[in-house]
Amino acid sequence: MQKLAEILDIFAREIFDSRGNPTVAAWVTVRSAGGNVVTGTASVPSGASTGKYEAVELRDGDERRLFGRGCLKAVGNVNGLIAKELCGHDAADQRTIDRLLRELDGTPNKSKLGANAMLAVSLACADAAAKALGMPLWRYLGGVQAKRTFPKPMLNVINGGAHAGNNLDVQEFMIVPVGAQTFWNAMDHAVTVYHNLKRILAERGLSTAVGDEGGFAPNFRRDEDALSVICDAIEASGLKPGSDVAIALDVAASEWAGEDGNYHLPKAKKVYTPQQLIRRYRYLASLYPIISIEDGAGEDDATMWETLTQRMGRSTMLVGDDLFVTNAERLQRGIETGIANAVLVKPNQAGTLTETLETIALAQRNNYRVILSHRSGETADTFISDLACAVNADYIKSGAPCRAERTEKYNRLKAIYND
């Protein structure tokens, strides 16, 4: 059988992400059926707040170099074992490529080759195949069903938690331009609110320095003050909180979960029982236009997830990140037990494109909303923008409209919108 994109060469090297930490970039060179030689590329992000069930990113562990965070072992796996295994195969046969990667790794969490090594190659193969076929990546990934709907952006405008050195325990305060009619209009609203937020913070003597994802990272007396100032910025932009621009939170409650079954907020130095924390969420949602709460319970706290879903699932999007870690088996268990109603999708949590697509398909079959997501340690790679459009994701979160590794995703979405 003729190969549509025969792999000729695979190469990787270590690059730096947006936090200055090493990560993996890969290049896959293929020959098309017509004889043209093209190269696809991909680079892998890394999270600061990570779920313990995520696929493992391989680090060197040599404290003498880059605090042990080097990725030379992962790069060596690409240039050695992976290249030897995949050269000669068809990059357009994504399922076979990813199956071979998983078999070569042979571990349940991709700890041998490293999810960073595997994903870089998996995504670069898809990029190379799209180029070999002369198709935009979003169309290659999604076929005729792609871009029937367009994802709404969720933009992190205030950083806290593990993403900033301020006193906010909530990790992300996001704005969602729910009233916009087009993606261009949505981004116009978001950028206007972002700049008005910066002005208001400065006028109040608060810091306008930014955190890992480009959101501002001032100190507030309490988390509610961050919600209040966001509403002020929305109104200063001539928009209505709720109907034009809503708010989404990434609580990252796994970071708070204690062995005693309670939730310990490290910055506020407060302790909540699960019931108290749910009451707090409901209280905040009654005061502010909060439409989404991500990781509102710990990744292993099934009881709180069930209660949270029962109490808030009809009115609020409850997003599983650490809970599901882009893993179809974990999502299936969540569906069977009726917890959460949306899944955050981060390809590096899964480790291959095929597993990412399987998780998305499972979510959509069961009416769970899908949110494509960046990581706090990002690169300029825009694969998730094409993927979001390919699968008709409901939302995409890529940080603030600030810092090139964030805005590149939004700029790519603008280009796809007009494609």
CB contact burial 55-74 (16+ within 10 A = b; e otherwise):
bbbbbbeeeeebeebbbbbb
Tokens of 149: 């709907």
pLDDT tens profile 289-320: 999 999 999 999 999 999 999 999 999 999 99
Give mean pLDDT, residues 16-25: 96
Active site residues: 213, 346
Q: Based on C-alpha coordinates, what's the Rg of the chain? A: 21
H/E segment holding residue 117: helix 115-132
129 neighbors 38 (Cβ within 8 angstroms): no
In order, the DSSP letters of 201-257 are: HHHTT----B-TTS-B----SSHHHHHHHHHHHHHHTT--BTTTBEEEEE--GGGTB
Angle at 18 between CA 40 and CA 86, to 5 degrees: 25
Question: What pLDDT score was predicted for residue 211?
Answer: 86
Q: Which of 340, 342, 223 is nearest to 287 (CA)?
A: 223
According to DSSP, the residues that pair with 9 across neighbouring strands are: 29
pLDDT tens profile 179-208: 999 999 999 999 999 999 999 999 999 999
Q: Which amino acid is at 286?
A: S
Residue 419: pLDDT over 90: no
d(CA 330, CA 104): 23
Question: What pLDDT score was predicted for residue 285?
Answer: 97
Residue 163: pLDDT over 70: no
Give mean pLDDT, residues 25-33: 97
d(CA 78, CA 87): 11
Question: What pLDDT score was predicted for residue 45?
Answer: 95
71 neighbors 58 (Cβ within 8 angstroms): yes
Residue 52: pLDDT over 90: no
The DSSP code for 241 is B
Residue 115: pLDDT over 90: yes
* Banded pLDDT at 49 (limits 50, 70, 90): low
The DSSP code for 90 is B
Question: What pLDDT score was predicted for residue 187?
Answer: 97
Q: Which amino acid is at 254?
A: S
346 neighbors 319 (Cβ within 8 angstroms): no
Q: Helix or strand or coil: residue 240?
A: coil
Percentage of residues of the chain with pLDDT beyond 90:
92
Q: Which of 102, 121, 114 is nearest to 40 (CA)?
A: 121
Residue 33: pLDDT over 80: yes
Dihedral of CA 200/202/205/206: which sign? positive
H/E segment holding residue 96: helix 94-105
pLDDT tens profile 262-272: 999 998 889 99
Question: What pLDDT score was predicted for residue 47?
Answer: 79
Residue 60: pLDDT over 90: yes
Question: What pLDDT score was predicted for residue 48?
Answer: 67
Residue 51: pLDDT over 90: no
- Using the structure block, give the residue that is written with the tokens 């367009």: 150
Question: What pLDDT score was predicted for residue 208?
Answer: 95
pLDDT tens profile 208-261: 999 889 999 999 988 899 999 999 999 999 999 999 999 999 999 999 999 999
The pTM of this model reads: 0.96
Q: For residue 9, give Cα distances in angstroms to 167, 278, 305, 323.
A: 48, 52, 46, 37
d(CA 13, CA 78): 9
Residue 138: pLDDT over 90: yes
Q: Which of 237, 138, 142, 236 is nearest to 186 (CA)?
A: 237
> Who contacts 67 (Cβ-Cβ below 8 Å, separation ≥6)?
none
